[in-house]
Amino acid sequence: MARTLRALPQRHAIARLSSGDAIPAWADGDGFVSITRSAGELSIVCPEARVPEEVRQDRGWTCFELVGPFAFDETGVVLAVIRPLSEAGIGIFVVSTFDGDHLMVKAENEERARALLSAAGYAFT
């Protein structure tokens, strides 16, 4: 089955706060946002322009949305998209939502990632 990726327009940052911190106001807003709390951290993915400089973060991520939705029992969706990148030594960050998945690569790897994913049968919108 052919898969489609949509590149999101903004650069994103991955921010790390302490697990007990409140969700900051800057995290919410337009664009792709993911907020995950675990026992050890509060992790926030959002457009990088919103993250204050003093917050621990990794900036410069390009986000590709896997156009879905995908059934919860559909297997191999994430594996298929990360395999060509992993085999080429490109680091990734993946966030899953109810309806789909978001693949993030550093901006400096965007063109190479696009070429590898196109060769693997992915289309871009």
For the domain that residue 60 is a member of, what is the CATH number?
A: 3.30.2130.10
* pLDDT score recorded for residue 1: 47
Q: How many domains, the chain?
A: 1
Is the Cβ–Cβ distance between 82 and 92 less than 8 Å?
yes
Mean pLDDT of the chain: 93
* pTM for the predicted model, two decimal places: 0.89
| Burial label, 37 (beta-carbon count in 10 A; 0-12, 13-18, 19+) | middle
pLDDT one-digit tens code per residue, 24-59? 999 999 999 999 999 999 999 999 999 999 999 999
Q: Which residue type is seen at 83?
A: R
User: What value does the mean pLDDT take over residues 81-107?
Assistant: 94
- Residue 51: is it exposed, middle or buried by C-beta count within 10 angstroms (0-12/13-18/19+)? buried
Q: Is the pLDDT of residue 104 over 70?
A: yes
Domain of residue 31, residue span: 3-124
Give the pLDDT confidence of 10-27 residue by residue, as tens digits: 999 999 999 999 999 999
